[in-house]
Amino acid sequence: MSVLFGKPPKMSKTATTQNLQLLPFVTSKLDIQDAVARVLQLPISGFKELFDYNRRQVCHRLGGS
């Protein structure tokens, strides 16, 4: 390939790391019913067929029905 296209150019990359200031996760103000309702409103978590599909796949692989 090098005969046809020549040598590829040398690449140099520079990477830097940034330190993020994360806020603490406060659970004292968390309402579990509200949290569950909010998660179930997300399209993928409320998609019952996805859970049924995954359950069928696991059962099939384990030899169950």
Residue 21, pLDDT score? 92
Please give the helix or strand (H or E) that residue 56 lies within, else none.
Answer: helix 48-62
Cα–Cα distance, 65 to 61 (Å, whole number): 10
Domain holding 54, by residue range, is: 41-65
Q: Are the beta carbons of 44 and 50 closer than 8 angstroms?
A: yes
Residue 11, pLDDT score? 86
pLDDT beneath 50, residues of the chain: none
Residue 7 lies in a domain: no
Residue 55 lies in a domain: yes
How is residue 28 annotated by DSSP? T
Work out how many domains the chain is built from and give that number: 1
Residue 63 lies in a domain: yes
Residue 24 lies in a domain: no
Of 23, 24, 50, 45, whose CA–CA distance to 35 is shortest?
45
Report pTM.
Answer: 0.34
Residue 65 CB contacts under 8 Å (≥ 6 apart), including other chains: 59
Residue 8 lies in a domain: no
Residue 34, pLDDT score? 92
Residue 16 lies in a domain: no
Rg value, the chain, Cα:
25
